[in-house]
Every structure is written in structure tokens, then in C-alpha cells.
Amino acid sequence: MSAEAKPLPPPVPFLRAAKAVFDLSLEEMVWSRKSLVMAGLLLLPVALALLFRLVADLKHAPAGIDLYGLVVAMYYLRNALPLASLFFATALIADEVEGRTITYLLSRPVSRASILCGKFAAYVVTGLTLTLPGIVASFFLLVPIRGFAGLAAFVPDLLRDLGVAALALCAYGALFALLGVLLKRPTIPGLVFLIGWESLANLPGWLPRYTVTAWVRSLVRHRPVDEGLAELFQTTLPTGEAIAVLVAITILGLAGAYGIFSRKQFVLDQ
């Protein structure tokens, strides 16, 4: 009897495979100690706003929309969201390599594109899960500090902020996902990018256009007074252009990450 080679099973369709990876990754990401740390970072403004409501003399407090603007523009968009993205997105593949589980994932009949897309989708959902409630809660805790009259005027700002936060998560996430598959140790380059490169947004001329944060900042209407160089050289870029650039960063980042991930050979440390 001749030993016939058993035909390989057909690959799982892209969407089904991506959904399976998404389900698996979501379980690992949302209910983990890492997420608890990030939840602490992303929900800190809610605790600060609560403290403010309880302790501060609201009659002589700054305008609520200014405080909410400070939380959105300074806390979330400039610092916490990029950090959370760095935290989660660089780990999309690195976690599997570090945990030595990448072999099991890659030996399944699923395409690498579906693995990356499933994991990225899980990252976006986790990021949104941790971020959006913080923004909404901050809005309702801070904006009506002098009463609910006039609250409606700022509702468009809330909706816009939620959208911008989602877009920022996608853009930074794609960029850091690329960094995560490109480098073995992406943490320091990622931090250097956030602390160093992104500071170009505070300089004059065209330099802010070379950063991600300047595009993100331009999309919200809050312009809190800064504490440093940014006070002199704040630039607001056109809204349409900003959306286009952030979408392009997301697509190019993901495409680049896929390009590298699809060819990369993973040799696990012994």
C-alpha cells in the first residue's frame, strides 16, 4: 500500500479566522493584569473629576468645559492614549513570542493577515472599552459644575472627542503594531518616539506635520493653555487633512506590520 500524503486542510476563511483570533485575543487582553494597569491610567481622570466635585469650591472653579477640555486634550489625546497604544499594540505579536505561543498560532490553518487583523481589532475594542467610559464620565462630572444649563451646547464636543479618541487609538495602534513586529524590543524606541519625536508638534513651521499628535490635537476644539514651548508655537491643522492623515497612518501602519509579519521567521529563545 503506498503511503499517500494526506492533503492539507483548506485554510479557514479570512473573516472566520480573524474572528476566532479576535475572540481569543479579547479574552487575553480585557481580563488581564495588564489591562488593570491601563484601566488605572485611562480611568484616572474620572477619579480626579470625582475628587474635584467632592472637594473643590465649585462656585469659584474654572469653567467646566475648560477642565473637561484639559482632560481630553492634555490627558487622553496627548499622553494616556499614545501610552496605552504603545502598551497594547507593541504586544500584539510580542506577547505570543515572549510566551512562546506563537508556534501554536502560526501552525494553525489561518492566514497571518487574519491573525494580525483579529489581534488589532481586539486591541481597538479593548482600548475603546477602557477609554470611552472615562471620557463620557469626565464630561458629565466636569462640564455641568455650574449647573446643567448650557450642557447641550457642548454635546457636539463630546461626540467629536469620542470619535477622535477612537481614531487616535487606531492610528497610534497601527504605528506601534508595526514597531512591535519590526523590532525585538520596541519599548524604548516607542517611548523615544512619544517623548522625543512627538515634541516636534510644539515647534513652528511644518515640523508638527511630521508627528501624529499634531493631527490628533487639531481634530478637537479644546485648546488648553500649555506649560511649555507649545504655548508659543501651537499649530492647528485642517480637519479634513487630519482625518485623512490619521486614516492613512492606520492603513499604512497595518499594511507595513502585515508585510513584515507575513515574512518574518520567529526563532524562539531557548
Partner 1 sequence: MPIYDQRYRRYEARNPLRELRFWPITREALKLVIARRAFLMLLLVAWVPFIARTIQVYVVTRFPEAGRVLPVDGRLFGEFLSGQLGFALLVSVFGGAGLIANDLRTGAILVYLSRPLTRVDYILGKLCALLSLNLFVTLAPALMLWIVAVSLAPEQFATLKLLWLPPAIVLHALVIGLAMGLMALAVSSLSKSARVAGLAFAGLFIGLEIARGVLRGMFRTPETGLVSLQGNLHALGNALFGIQHRFFNQPWPLAALALLVMAALSLWVLRARVRAVEVVQ
Partner 2 sequence: MTRSRLVVTASFAAVGLGVAVALGALVLDPARAAVGPMPGEGLALPSGTRFVVGIDVARFTSSPMYQKHAAKADLTPEAFAELEEKTGLRPDRDIDQILIAGAPPAADGPARGAVLVFGRFDRYKLSRAIEADGEKKNVSWKTIDGYTVYVFGEGRAKGRPGALAFLDDDTLVLGPQATVEEVIANRNGGGKGLAENAELVRLLGTVRPGSTFWMVGDQTLLSRMPNNVPSPMGGGQMSLPALKSLVVTGDLDPEMALHATGEARDEAAARQLADVVRGMTALIQLQGGQNPALQSLATAFSVNHEGAKVHVNARLPYELLDQLKAMGAQRKAAPPAEPIQ
User: Which residue in 182, 190, 28 sits closest to 95, CA to CA?
Assistant: 28
Q: Does 243 bind partner 2 (CB under 8 A)?
A: no
Stretch in the footprint of partner 1 (CB under 8 A) among 46-54, 211-219, 239-247, 256-264: 46-54
Residue 218 CB coordination number (10 Å): 22
User: Which residue in 123, 117, 101, 124 sits closest to 17, CA to CA?
Assistant: 117
All 3 cell numbers of residue 188?
Answer: 524604548
Distance from C-alpha of 131 to C-alpha of 161, rounded to nearest angstrom: 11
Of 218, 219, 245, 249, the one binding partner 2 (CB under 8 A) is 218
Which of 40, 156 has the CB closer to partner 2?
Answer: 156
Distance from C-alpha of 16 to C-alpha of 22, rounded to nearest angstrom: 10
Tally the residues of the chain.
270
Could you tell me how many residues of this chain bind partner 1 (CB under 8 A)? 39
Residue 262: which residues within 8 A CB-CB, separation 6 or more? 112, 113
Site residues for partner 1 per CB under 8 A: 33-34, 37-38, 41, 44-45, 48-49, 52, 55-56, 61-62, 66-67, 70-71, 74-75, 78-80, 83, 86-87, 90-91, 94, 98, 185, 187-188, 191-192, 195-196, 224, 227
Site residues for partner 2 per CB under 8 A: 26-27, 29-31, 59-66, 125-126, 128-130, 132-133, 136-137, 139-140, 146, 148-153, 155-156, 158-159, 162, 218, 223, 225-227, 230-238
